[in-house]
Amino acid sequence: MSSTPTPIPASIAINAAFDGGNIKIVAIDGDRIDLEIVRDHQSDFYQWFYFRVAGAKGRKLSFRILNAGDSAYPLGWPDYKARVSTDRETWRQTPARYAGGVLEFDWTGETDLVWFAYFAPYTMEQHDALIARMALKPGMTHRQLGTTIDGRAIDCLTIGRGPKQAWLYARQHPGESMAEWWMEGALERLTDTTDPVTAELLSKATFHVVPNMNPDGTFRGHLRTNAVGVNLNREWHEPSLERSPEVLCVRNAMDASGVDFAMDVHGDEAIAANFIAGFEGIPSWTDALGEKFYDFGRRLAVNTPDFQTELGYGKAAPGHANLSMSTNQVAERFGALSMTLEMPFKDHDANADVEFGWSAERSKKLAHSCLEVLAEVIDTL
């Protein structure tokens, strides 16, 4: 008489050795897994994580990120929910707990493989696919503006025939992956040949779109810096080939075209809302240009419930703007309507989504709203 042997649970295997991956295994004790996030190379910044778990099926796993409390933005962890996917396409929230500097979350495995990330990733493979797809669209021109320290391309896509020069750029901070999802949404809208908003914009403006300014940091799984630990959004006053070739080539291209409108797209760890930051405090500040910035925000809040103007960053005092930051430098250098768009890692709490939180899809839709508002104000630039 034979009996069916009891299945032996698969051993747990953690891996982050892939495009955009970041995690370090501290210990695996049964179904409890202790981890640490790896610092950006030559930097103390860290917060982005992205890893795969094999052997999860049929187990209730408990994950602990032990060094969360010393991360770049520990205020980002309270009320945060990790993102989880079993197919790397759909990313849902999973509840997390933060106490004593440790971030914890659980997962009951229905599949052998599962991926966890700080936010829905946008890898370099996805970036390359986006560039290849968009470069073939009617009216689109592709330029390689320069290369990174690791030798990767800085891609720029240009479309439109109007005299106004609009620059859209993202991922100076590579861990802010929602920014490139926003870029995908913007490019899809700008290449929609049936859309009347797009037609109006392209007749009045030429768009220069840099979807990813920090390919090295993206591939390496960094939060905030490039291959040599440099925060690109503190390099705009004096970029160099040695430290920040990414900024140097983009700023040189801006100098060649001029800039009337600029949006630098980011993500914010702590504030559970979408908002824009401006250029208060630049030496050449005028109330007239400042009003155009405030008007853009008010219009965007009317356009979509996924934007608000109450929460955001403080304003620099007159004459005290940090000109090493792109929004300030571009406003001062070109007299442009320049702004930083910040999206949350948590959720836009005024219009929250329990299952997905702030998501890739909502980031793309917000890009559509931003372009619709730009169409309303383009004649005033």
Round to whole Å and give the CA distance between 311 and 330: 24
| 67 backbone φψ class: left, alpha, beta (φ>0; ψ -120 to 50) | alpha
Sheet holding 337-344, edge to edge: 141-147, 153-160, 205-210, 164-170, 261-268, 337-344, 275-277
According to DSSP H, which parts of 195-274 are helical? 196-204, 215-220, 245-257
CA 287 to chain centre: 30
Round to whole Å and give the CA distance between 2 and 15: 38
Q: Environment class of residue 18 by beta-carbon count within 10 Å: exposed (0-12), middle (13-18) or buried (19+)?
A: middle
Catalytically annotated residue among 89, 342, 361, 372: 342
Round to whole Å and give the CA distance between 365 and 373: 13
CA dihedral 232, 214, 70, 269 (to 10 degrees): 90
Phi and psi angles of residue 242, each rounded to the nearest 5 degrees, phi first: -75, -35
| 260 backbone φψ class: left, alpha, beta (φ>0; ψ -120 to 50) | alpha
User: Is residue 342 flagged as an active site residue?
Assistant: yes
Round to whole Å and give the CA distance between 275 and 109: 36
Q: Which residues share a beta bridge with 110?
A: none
Active site amino acids:
342
